[in-house]
Structure 1
């Protein structure tokens, strides 16, 4: 691990040592493994890894390892949707029901009337299949079928049921025009993109983003052939809330008393709402290209920076990204959490710093008190990364 060019001789090593110590501290606190990349306008300037790809054998996490990036997948889809708007193939004012066969949207409240912007900023009022208790058990919990490759509309059935429709009447059901995070928004966005282009969503991701940016390690699991890169074991914390909400699949052995090994699973259940795998470096290269306007026009970038409150203090959402207030300046990006993985990707609103942090452990359905620190969202780690990026830029 370390700086990837000769500039390391001119960089004060304090920032780098502090970053390595932060990764190792997170592993000591309970994370199995972690991979981090820092980039600036000059490209990737630092990569660091700590912990195990396989707890049983002690094989280490390496820079080449791929991790599930969860909902950061949504940023790729947002870019494609806005590119199609630029090409006049998508209309921001049209309802998605005008693009899709009614069989896709029927029986799902607020679906047909939703617009592309309302999908992108989660104001559609469409319920999330991720919140359905049956889906949680079958998608991540005790009733998981690890070998199943989910179809692209399968998750929609969990909110098309009679029980789900009744759920829409409760006071805290999603309301059109009000932010309510929903994976379903991006399931529908994927179907709209496929309808408009005539191509599978994964083909559009590859032709519009992955190939132009030469990102060799990224793929959509279950829908594309895996790359030659390695994927570490996928672990998931088992808290009391996880046991109650999801339950533990007998197909996933315990690696530790509070940790299961879910490596038999795949992310097809998430599709374009959260099913991509990537190395930390390639994800950083994507975020750098997005930040620097190499994927979208200035008008689309302006739309991506049109912020509305999420209802959480210090948090705003745009059309595909989130803005988070911090002690020493805001960050812009997205988090991701799925079975077996947790991910963070962001850039500093002020200055020149892009960071990705990927972990081979999931925390979904574990409750607010996480079993171990997830350092990608902590102010301390953000400040350490910004300090290294600033030092690098000053020295080079």
Structure 2
């Protein structure tokens, strides 16, 4: 049964998230041809400049769906074999028996067993995933560091393995997607960002979606406030930041409208073929970055809190910013939401993040957006 959009209820729900503690957030919700766009709060806590629904935003790991789509388009063209070992393409980056055991598919669905490089690039995060054993100092130390992606991959490959290739559960790791970016470059002879732009972003007609060319976000945008679990108080603006620490794994800049358009076209079979889309939606167990078990496919996963398989999409975080994009399997109902605060939960005596009113307010907004 169709539940039409309720603009007044959506306005109230997004305002509740702001009142719960997020400085500013904005979203677009669609039901068929019906569209609601809304925003609440401020883009700059110092000036009171309001957020607007058309702002550009760092969308973090939502980028991974774009990378996966670019790889699958090359699979369709016969230029990449999904179950070929990555060592066949990049023997210098994943050498020896390990390179022969890890396939392209395992990189896309996070079952490679390769560790996350971030705790090695950011020394104060070495305690991950135990939040209480981390600190935020490296975020500031490396605000303008230009990381070499080959060095970052090397950190992940050299670190102790987090699983066996193809084993279950997999473990979410940005190392996988930096390798996929190098794979795109090896096969096409083109910079990964340029190839993804041409084959995915432009193909989808996304006018406000780009990879960064420097530390600043071009166009109207919000500041991004990082709290690092209460260890940065008040939260510090990290909107100006060199995103080479994430590279093509998580550095994309977009809008909520563009994200909704992208996922709508993806599920309609207009970005990759229907058979590739079916592969993307074939899931297995993966441990997320915050230690939760999730199901994950090829750069796409069923979203928590929805009926099993009813909604698909991806979330993403950067220092200070968060994004979530979800679409119903039939392509009719969808939501993209962006927030300008991250890691708002504080730590309890056992070292675990404590519940925060923002969590409940966001969950209520998501339910209203998706189910009416």
CA distance in 2 between counterparts of 1:145 and 1:293 reads 40
User: TM-score with structure 1 length normalisation?
Assistant: 0.79
**Secondary structure of the corresponding residue to residue 180 of structure 2:** helix
Q: Which of 324, 328, 331 pairs up with 1:344? A: 324
Using a 3 Å threshold, how does the CA distance of structure 1 residues 12 and 81 change in structure 2: closer, same or farther? closer
Tell me, yes or no, if structure 1 residue 381 matches structure 2 residue 365: yes
Is the 8 Å Cα contact of residues 238 and 260 (structure 1) preserved in structure 2? Answer: no
User: TM-score with structure 2 length normalisation?
Assistant: 0.84
CA distance in 2 between counterparts of 1:78 and 1:359 reads 24
TM alignment of 1:300-379, pairs within 5 A: 300-310=276-286, 315-324=294-303, 326=305, 330-349=310-329, 352-363=332-343, 368-369=353-354, 371=356, 373-374=358-359, 378=363
TM alignment of 1:268-307, pairs within 5 A: 268-307=244-283
User: How large is the RMSD of aligned CA atoms in angstroms?
Assistant: 3.0
Aligned counterpart, 1:152 = 149
Aligned counterpart, 2:106 = 118
Unaligned runs of 5+ in 2: 127-133, 347-351
Q: Deviations over 1:315-369 (max 9, x none)?
A: 3211111113536563211111121111101112357211111111222996533
Higher mean C-alpha displacement, 120-129 vs 311-320:
311-320
CA distance in 2 between counterparts of 1:278 and 1:327 reads 24
CA distance in 1 between counterparts of 2:319 and 2:100 reads 30
Aligned counterpart, 1:79 = 69
CA distance in 2 between counterparts of 1:371 and 1:106 reads 45
Unaligned runs of 5+ in 1: 1-10, 249-256, 389-396
Q: Deviations over 1:232-273 (max 9, x none)?
A: 111011325xx4xxxx6xxxxxxxx34122233232210111
CA distance in 2 between counterparts of 1:387 and 1:92 reads 36
Could you tell me how far 1:71 is from its partner in structure 2? 0.7
Aligned counterpart, 2:136 = 141
Q: Which of 30, 38, 48 pairs up with 2:29? A: 38
CA distance in 1 between counterparts of 2:361 and 2:228 reads 21
Tell me, yes or no, if structure 1 residue 65 matches structure 2 residue 55: yes
Could you tell me how far 1:157 is from its partner in structure 2? 3.8
Using a 3 Å threshold, how does the CA distance of structure 1 residues 376 and 199 change in structure 2: closer, same or farther? farther
Tell me, yes or no, if structure 1 residue 54 matches structure 2 residue 39: no
Aligned counterpart, 1:7 = none
CA distance in 1 between counterparts of 2:227 and 2:135 reads 12
Is the 8 Å Cα contact of residues 311 and 326 (structure 2) preserved in structure 1? Answer: yes
Using a 3 Å threshold, how does the CA distance of structure 1 residues 236 and 134 change in structure 2: closer, same or farther? closer
Is the 8 Å Cα contact of residues 23 and 340 (structure 2) preserved in structure 1? Answer: yes
Using a 3 Å threshold, how does the CA distance of structure 1 residues 94 and 299 change in structure 2: closer, same or farther? same
Aligned counterpart, 1:8 = none
